[in-house]
Amino acid sequence: MATERHLRILDEGRGDYLKVDPDGFRDWVGTKNRAMTPKLMTAAEAVSRFVADGDYITWECNYLQRGPSAVLREIVRQKKRRLWACGKFTWVAVALLVDAGCVDRADMGFFMGGPGLNRAVLEGRLKVWEYSNVVMTNRVRAGAMGLSFVQVRSLGGTTNFPHSAAKLIEDPYTGEPTVIVPALNPDVAIIHVHQADVYGNARIFGAGISDVDSAMASKKVVISTEEIIDTEDIRHNPGLTKIPFYAVDAVVHQPFGAYPGECPGHYASDSEHVGEVFTAMNRDKLGAYLQKWIYAYDSEEEMLEKAVGRVRLAELERRSTRKEGFRP
């Protein structure tokens, strides 16, 4: 009989982390609908049904770059509470959600702060654990692989380490010190895509952060899409499908769903609005921003119609001039 040996943990962070439970995640996936049933619904219905108070939430890209900005605004509008945010690669979204009272915990990769967010941290209304962008997307990928942890070749030696859930172990294969971090299976992923059919088979064009990994790693998946396409089109070029329908719970047809951000191949960013949200964040005026752009309207459609206007939207479409590669 082989001698029992022990894995050596050389050091470990003290950060809280979303419970790791790959079998529990499999159990959840086992309950998801496998039928090709249409999942079209409004952003309001999708958020109401699939974003619950207390959820761990991840969104792909960000409020300014092909992110699910419309759905994020709907989360604010519906006053979701106690969300735990996957704060990777995001400029202003965490600050917006914190100011709106939606988010009280965040795993740090990259997000900007400003006085409001800083106050929330110092007053204990926002708890932050420290990782980095790629470590967070690696954690999501591990979740998408059905694993419970993943080895990374960074984070070690930094001040992130003690404030994360990372561990430094003696690698059982090489004998060298190496860092592991817990896998991540978010409760809900919000992803904005270029094209999808009504069942959720989705196409994304261009660079991105961890769209597919987030879709496969998350319990509930909300897709917003610029265009609804026919499933026959999907079947004619299946290599373009990034996310399969069975992972998707809601399909929201949301043209300009990334506004005020750019959706490459469709429209440019609204640079005035981008300037406005940065200024609001830096000058502690996010409350006024939320009122002006979100609370004042019942829906995204109404906001786009009344606050932005068709002329401006058409102009943003005209300013999208390098479409090569962003269409099938």
Partner 1 sequence: MTSRIGSLPPLLPTDGPWKSAPQAASFAEREFQVAITTRLIEDQKNYWVAAGGGPMYSVLLARRLYAPNALYVTEDGIVGADPVLPLDPVMTVVAEKPSYRALQWTTMNGIGDHCAVGYMDVGILNALQIDPYGNINSTWVGEYPTKGRRVNGPGGADTIAAQCRRVILMTDHQKRKFVPKVDFISSPGFLDGSPGARERAGLPRNTGPWVVVTNWALFDFEEKTHRMRLRGIAPFITVDRVLAEMSFEPLVADTLETLDVPTEQEVNIFRAEMDTGGQYSDARGGWVVREEDRWKLAAA
Rounded-to-integer distance, Cα 139 and Cα 37, Å: 31
For partner 1, which residue of 33, 231, 271, 279 counts as binding (CB under 8 A)? 271
Q: Could you say whether residue 202 binds partner 1 (CB under 8 A)? A: no
How many residues touch partner 1 under the rule CB under 8 A: the total is: 66
Q: How many CB atoms lie within 10 A of CB 298?
A: 10
Enclosing H/E stretch for 107 = strand 103-108
Nearest distance in Å: CB 45, partner 1: 28
For partner 1, which residue of 177, 287, 309, 328 counts as binding (CB under 8 A)? 177
Tell me which residues in 17-76 interact with partner 1 (CB under 8 A): 61, 64-66
Q: Could you say whether residue 226 binds partner 1 (CB under 8 A)? A: no
Q: Judging by DSSP bridges, how do beta strands 9-12 and 167-170 pair with one another?
A: antiparallel
Q: Could you say whether residue 213 binds partner 1 (CB under 8 A)? A: yes
Residues in CB range of 171: below 8 A, 6 or more apart? 151, 177, 178
Amino acid at 293: W
Nearest distance in Å: CB 208, partner 1: 5
For partner 1, which residue of 32, 323, 327, 328 counts as binding (CB under 8 A)? 323
Amino acid at 105: R
From 186-194, 262-270, 280-288, 310-318, span contacting partner 1 (CB under 8 A): 262-270
Residues in CB range of 259: below 8 A, 6 or more apart? 69, 70, 267, 270, 273, 304, 308, 313, 316
Q: In 76-98, which positions are buried (b, 16+ CB within 10 angstroms) versus exposed (e)? A: bbeebeebbbbbbbbbbbbbbbb
Tell me which residues in 116-135 interact with partner 1 (CB under 8 A): 117-118, 121-122, 128, 130, 132-135
Rounded-to-integer distance, Cα 315 and Cα 47, Å: 29
Q: Could you say whether residue 138 binds partner 1 (CB under 8 A)? A: yes
Q: Which residues bind partner 1 (CB under 8 A)?
A: 61, 64-66, 87-89, 91, 108-113, 117-118, 121-122, 128, 130, 132-135, 137-138, 141, 153-161, 163, 168, 176-179, 205-213, 262, 264-265, 268-269, 271, 274, 278, 320-326
